[in-house]
Amino acid sequence: MKFAFVIYGYFPYGGQQRDFLRVALACAERGHEIDVYTMKWQGETPPTLRVQIVDIRAWRNHARYERFVNTVQARIKQAPVDAVIGFNKMPGLDVYFAADPCFAERALKERAFYYRFTPRYRHFLRYEQAVFGAAAPTQALLLSPLQRQQFLQHYPQSGPRLHDVPPGIARDRQAPENAAQLRAQWRAEFGLDAGHLAVLQIGSGFVVKGVDRSLRALASLPPPVRKRVRYFLVGQDKPERFQRLARKLGVLEQCVFLNGRDDVPRFLLGADLLLHPAYSESAGYVLLEAVVAGLPVLTTDTCGYAFHVLQAGAGQVCESPFSQDDLNGRLLHMLTSSERLLWQRSGIDYGRREDLYSMPQRVAEMIEQFAQARAAGRGAA
């Protein structure tokens, strides 16, 4: 079959982008033709994908997205496909991979009331309704129970079109047999001795990931503990505002800001704690990656995969409504607790017994099934 994959932009280090690429490659491996429509592509282009860069310009993002969607729809009309698979919410999709949170929920809970009178709000709500509204035909693939709960709350008639998919982290995130050696090498590279406590945060989009919360929690630690901590932030974003906040809080010298990179497994093995107090997160693959690597996790229940942390017994989860004091106290406890070895072992065991890896293959199968059903429906008509 022939599939069109649509995503606003691709870069190698975003969770949404990695999901897109792995699913597209899984479909290509099954013999399907894959056209990719995007406005921006960073990194290498796999030879099994036909990537079409659609150059769209506009003053505002939502206007750019609308022009992009209209252009892509026109191109697909000229060169029809068996299914259109989107990784952003937009009209005209046969399948939507829900890498983003529920927009209606975020607009209600995280924005002031006047936001609902802006053109930006109307655009994104309309595009979400095109996927989840009562009249929409799109099949939606969900990553977590939290997503299902939120989408059903705002779009109750979408239930039959919501489908759960398993996680799909890479198996190289599991702790290898030489984990202790790799940990020692990483810590030596960054000048950490046995007395240092390495706190790691990974993720592109520092605002949504709660980096401000992390820095405030770091600053709240008692001086004897705080002096031992080194905070590593790894991700693709602009760090300047957070560097200013770290300086204001008096912790800049303990912070290491790094761009997105390919050696994340080394960081997971070398650190002592993953800190991920995100404001919202559809899934949060980094939580599972840390769990299976044996890195204890401290996160928030607004992350879709936070339930895995509790299920694995591999860390702690801050409950909503979020409290900075709660995060501060949990950070201190987790850095000084004798439970760290238990959290580590429990996470490694969880990664060995649970299916946390099959998402790309399962989603490829589901896309085939949806495309076949769509073709059968057209034939019957």
Q: Distance between CA 281 and CA 277 in Å, rounded? A: 10
- Domain shared by 348 and 369, yes or no: no
What is the distance between the alpha carbons of residues 30 and 28, in angstroms, rounded to a whole number?
5
Q: Model-level pTM greater than 0.85?
A: yes
**Do 228 and 320 belong to one domain?**
yes
Same domain, 205 and 337: yes
The answer to whether residues 370 and 320 belong to one domain is: no
pLDDT, residue 377, reads: 82
Single-letter code of the amino acid located at 26: A
Contacts of 294 (CB under 8 A, 6+ apart): 175, 179, 269, 344, 345, 347, 348
Per-residue three-class SS string for 97-150? ECCCCCHHHHHHHHCCHHHHHCHHHHHHHHHHHHHHCCCCCCEEEECCHHHHHH
- Give the per-residue pLDDT at 240: 97
Q: Are 220 and 340 part of one and the same domain?
A: yes
Reference 136, options 181, 180, 94; nearest CA is 94
Answer yes or no: do 347 and 200 share one domain: yes
Chain centroid to CA 22: 14
My answer on whether 91 and 213 are in the same domain is: no
Per-residue confidence in pLDDT tens, the chain, 381 aa: 999 999 999 999 888 999 999 999 999 999 999 999 999 999 999 999 999 999 999 999 999 999 999 999 999 999 999 999 999 999 999 999 999 999 999 999 989 999 999 999 999 999 999 999 999 999 999 999 999 999 999 999 999 999 999 999 999 899 999 999 999 999 999 999 999 999 999 998 999 999 999 999 999 999 999 999 999 999 989 999 999 999 999 999 999 999 999 899 999 999 999 999 999 999 999 999 999 999 999 999 999 999 999 999 999 999 999 999 999 999 999 999 999 999 999 999 999 999 999 999 999 999 999 999 999 987 665
Do 229 and 130 share a structural domain? no
Number of domains observed in the structure of the chain: 2
Rounded CA-CA distance 18/37 in Å is 16
Residues 309 and 365 in one domain: no
Distance between CA atoms of residues 211 and 203, nearest Å? 10
| pLDDT value at residue 381 | 58
CATH number at residue 310: 3.40.50.2000
C-alpha span between 204 and 209 (Å, rounded): 8
User: How many Cα atoms are found within 13 Å in the side-chain-facing hemisphere of 98?
Assistant: 30
**Nearest to residue 245, comparing CAs of 214, 278, 279, 200?**
214
Q: Output the pLDDT for position 13.
A: 87
- Is residue 277 within 8 A of residue 302, CB to CB? The reply is no
Pairing of strands 50-53, 95-97: unpaired
Please tell me whether residues 291 and 364 are part of one structural domain: no
Q: Under a CB-based contact definition with an 8 Å cutoff, are residues 203 and 286 in contact?
A: yes
> What's the helix, strand, coil split of the chain in %, to 5?
50, 15, 35
Q: How confident is the model at residue 380, as a pLDDT?
A: 64
Distance, C-alpha 30 to centroid of its chain = 25
Helix (H, G, I), strand (E, B), or coil: what is residue 318?
strand
- β-bridge partners, 303: 281
254 and 322 inside one domain: yes
Q: Are residues 205 and 130 in the same domain?
A: no
Domain of 156 in residue numbering reads as 2-166+358-380
pLDDT at site 379: 65
